[in-house]
Amino acid sequence: MDNRPVGVYDSGLGGLTVWRELRRALPGESLLYLGDGKNCPYGARPREEVRRLACQAVDYLIAQGCKLVVVACNTATAAAIDFLRERYPDIPLVGMEPAVKPACLHTRSGVVGVLATERSLDGELFRRTAARYGRGIEVVTAPGKGFVELVESDREATPEAEECVRRAMAGMLERGADQIVLGCTHYPFLMPVFERIVAGRDVTIIDPSPAVARRTAQLLDQYGLRAAPDHPPTYEFRTFADEAYRERLRAKAFADADTPAAR
């Protein structure tokens, strides 16, 4: 039994979509969330800069005693996950795998759409996954331009958000995509907008967060890292930004949640 926290890291608020799934799947585990905030968004930053920021964040979480770290940021995963695994061979690390595999396996039209940041779409991880599972499938990609900024400024429910998402999805829907992958952890905060846009169409929106939570549970079991059954979980939030941003992390994490307040 190991009562140390599970670390969760993102460029900002987006990884809270993964945090929520982890809390649901692992109700006995303490979670320490680090939302960079200071350097968000990552999507268009050079790969080496993203890797440096990711290393700084994971270094911090491990120094805080985290037993496992979830890199809940697609851009950071694409830029740094292999490097991080070499740097920390004794710490289980969970990254954001592009959910292209389930999309390709379940498509009926033979067309799959992928919405992600520019850096993620340009990453080796995405290209490798798309090449492996996308044979015979048309994979239509589009950067979610402005999506992260909308979420970071709490504008998910605005007409601006609707217009922005419609513009990004137009090409893939015109091509007949019936599976659309959300390749950034900020994007599920826009789920109501996605669902309105595909209403009446036979289209599935794929959020990879539940799969990440399942993988985290598997690794906790594999390495004997589960918390004790009587362990009262704690939820802490940290940032490289200011106290106001840390409070925003906490508030967004628990919006519409039934979990007691966090630190």
Side chain identity at 9, as an amino acid letter?
A: Y
Helix, strand, coil: what percent of the chain each, to 5?
Answer: 45, 15, 40
Spell out the residues 6+ positions from residue 226 whose beta carbon is closer than 8 angstroms to its own.
1, 2, 28, 29, 220
- Stated as kind and residue range, the H or E segment containing 155 is none
Catalytic member of 40, 73, 104, 164? 73
> How would you label 219-233 residue by residue, b for 16+ Cβ within 10 Å and e otherwise?
bbeeeebbbeeeeeb
Helix axes 191-198, 159-174, angle to 10 degrees: 50
Closest listed residue to residue 150, CA positions, set 164, 166, 170, 136:
164
User: What span, in angstroms and rounded, lies between the C-alpha atoms of 94 and 215?
Assistant: 7
Enter the tokens of residue 155.
């504008």
Q: Which residue has the tokens 């925003």?
A: 248
Q: Is 104 a catalytic residue?
A: no
Q: Is 73 a catalytic residue?
A: yes
Catalytic member of 66, 104, 164, 184? 184
**What are the residues facing 204 on neighbouring strands?**
179
Enter the tokens of residue 182.
């959300």
CA-based torsion, 162, 163, 164, 169: positive or negative? positive
Nearest-5° angle of CA 247, CA 249, CA 253?
Answer: 120
The residues carrying an active-site annotation are 73, 184
